Amino acid sequence: MFSIVKKNMVYFIGYCGVIFTLTAILTIILGNENAVPLVLISGVLLFMLVFGPVFFNEQYEEKHKGYDFLDILPIKASEIVLAKFGLVLLTVAATEGYLLVLFSISKIAPNDWALVRSYILMGGVVCLFFSALSYLGIFSLGYTKFAVFVMSFIVLLGFVPILIMRFYRDNMDVLVENILAFLRGVNWVAVIPLVLIGYFSLMFIAIKIKE
């Protein structure tokens, strides 16, 4: 299984290198005065894990018919899936850890640290679930078909802000306040184990599909 991890980790290491460097530069440039855009951008960069290493690796597997090659080797489907899910989990954990340490020592929004921490952790949760769902989709449909599906989904997502504007036009401030209050109030000690249970459940479904 370590060989699979080793083969796949190139893109993940590249991702971490880019994200770590970029967020460090942004932190220096934007600093505490621009904490909101800095944290928002970091969350978006964190989410790029899905469309970066996860998609690049699967595109690579499809281009070279990698799963056909692996199919003749003595390795279980569960080991392949575990390697892929494990790498995503490790990368998310490392990136979140790095961002939290970076923002903490850079004293980014010290007065609202609970919100910053929550936003970064929530970014990780979204990232984990989208990665897991992407693997489920890719293992079921193949990379190319799934990529088309995702592109269509992204186009549809463009309508979400329009719908939000339409329904909350007069109450936008209230909506934002509610979201921020929700984020500040998340009990991560309870949520993280639940997130991990959900993630590993999706992993087991992925194993069943791959088998």
Q: Is 144 in the site for other proteins (CB under 8 A)?
A: no
C-alpha distances (whole Å) from 38 to each of 49, 91, 112 are 18, 20, 14
Q: Which stretch binds other proteins (CB under 8 A): 1-9, 33-41, 165-173, 180-188?
A: 1-9
**What letter would DSSP give residue 74?**
S
CB of 12 to other proteins, least distance (A): 17
Q: Is 208 in the site for other proteins (CB under 8 A)?
A: no
Q: Is 29 in the site for other proteins (CB under 8 A)?
A: no
CB of 80 to other proteins, least distance (A): 11
Q: Which of 25, 24, 188, 35 is nearest to 95 (CA)?
A: 24
Give the number of other CB atoms < 10 A from CB of residue 194.
10
Q: Is 10 in the site for other proteins (CB under 8 A)?
A: no
Write b or e for each residue in 139-170: b if 16 or more Cβ atoms lie within 10 A of its Cβ, otherwise e: beeebeebbeebeeeeeeeeeeeeeeeeeeee
CB of 4 to other proteins, least distance (A): 9
Q: Is 170 in the site for other proteins (CB under 8 A)?
A: no
**What letter would DSSP give residue 113?**
H
CB closer to other proteins, 75 vs 133: 75
Binders of other proteins among 56-115, rule CB under 8 A? Answer: 60, 63-66, 68-69, 71-76
CB closer to other proteins, 8 vs 95: 8
CB closer to other proteins, 71 vs 177: 71
CB closer to other proteins, 3 vs 178: 3
Q: Is 173 exposed, middle or buried (0-12, 13-18, 19+ CB in 10 A)?
A: exposed
Q: 31's torsion region: left (phi>0), alpha (psi -120 to 50) or beta?
A: left
Query: Applying CB under 8 A, which residues contact other proteins?
Result: 2-3, 7, 60, 63-66, 68-69, 71-76
